[in-house]
Chain A
Amino acid sequence: MAEREDIELFVQGEGIRDIVLIKAKKGGAVRDILVAAREAGLSVVEGVVLWIEDEESPIDLDAPIASTQIRHLGRVHLHRCRKVAVNVTFNGVQKAETFPPATTMKRVKRWAVGPKGFNMSDVDAAEHVLQLTGSAERPDEDIHIGTLVTGSQCSVSFDLVPKVRVEG
């Protein structure tokens, strides 16, 4: 349990494969969250900025935490990419969009199956899932898109695939 002057934050980001819970000083600056993340053993590269989950713009690193929307058990993301280019392929057709790196897979999928994506019915949408191109990995809906960026390109590619019955 965090002490009164601490807050706990769920952190994701560049080079961080899991959701990690860290403690940070409530009275510090946003930049101190990066320090806390490093102290927790996370790889935090130079030049990262911090987003609140599903927000469009990063937070000023010099701002006091108390002046931001960062709250106890909030969800933040650390990444150098300001935007992530997402490509989704379904039945040989490709759709593209850009998202802030702190965007959840839940929101990315909502776009992919929605009117600006492949415009699926609710039933069809529920029975499809985003799978990383060239892999069997189907990131959970809580994962931030920035977490899936590899290499120097700020991009991620998916296939939209059906959920199949387990039988046999």
Chain B
Amino acid sequence: MDIAETVLRAHLDAGPFLSGVDRGRWRLLVMTWPHAIIAVSAAERPGAPCEYAFRFECTGYPQTPPTAQPWSESADAPLPPDRWPGGRSRVPLAFNPGWKSGQCLYLPCDRHAIEGHDPWRTQHPSLIWSPQRDITQYLQVIYELLNSSDYSGLRSS
């Protein structure tokens, strides 16, 4: 087994991730290396789902940051843009299906998003991926956005 897969599986079975599962903040749906599909709970909004699934691509984990995209569990395919989370300010910037064809989230902790955004390292140091931590640092960022006052429900609503 790839060392990165071993580490990720260990992290998915460790306190920080399982604590979030126990709180109902997120849950593992499928693990098929190098992908892990994880559902993250969202605040209740009219017509919106209670959770969104994200497919994390974890090659090189944890030295290399993961990258995540909204995912349709039922279709096992990228989530259609109109089903992405929406909001007023921070949320639509982070969940932007028009950026890089919707293949990642526009967040400093994302492997693809950080490329070419070196100023983020000083502007948003709390959101930069740390290889010393685990996948919950990315999940916490998503969870915070989906449970913020900024989040308004589906992007299409």
Contacts and interface: CB of A to CB of B under 8 A. Distances in A.
A166 B144 CA distance: 14
Contact of A166 (B23, B106, B140, B148): B106
Contacts of B120: 166, 168
B149 A126 contact: yes
List 9 A-B pairs, minimum CB-CB distance, nearest first.
A136-B125, A19-B15, A126-B149, A21-B15, A20-B15, A19-B19, A136-B126, A138-B126, A19-B16
A interface SS class:
loop
16 contacts: A10-B18, A19-B16, A20-B15, A21-B14, A73-B22, A126-B150, A127-B148, A136-B125, A140-B140, A142-B19, A142-B20, A166-B93, A166-B108, A166-B127, A168-B117, A168-B119
Nearest to A12: B15
B interface SS class:
helix
Nearest to A21: B15
Interface string A41-60: 00000000000000000000
Interface in A1-55: 10-11, 18-21
Interface string B1-21: 000000000000011101110
B100 interface: no
A62 interface: no
Contacts of A122: 149
A166 B90 contact: yes
Contacts of A73: 22
B149 A166 contact: no
Contact of B93 (A10, A11, A126, A165): A165
Contacts of B40: none
B123 interface: yes
Interface string A112-129: 000000000011001100
Given A10-B15, A142-B23, A168-B120, 8 more contacts: A10-B19, A11-B15, A18-B16, A21-B15, A140-B140, A163-B148, A166-B120, A168-B117
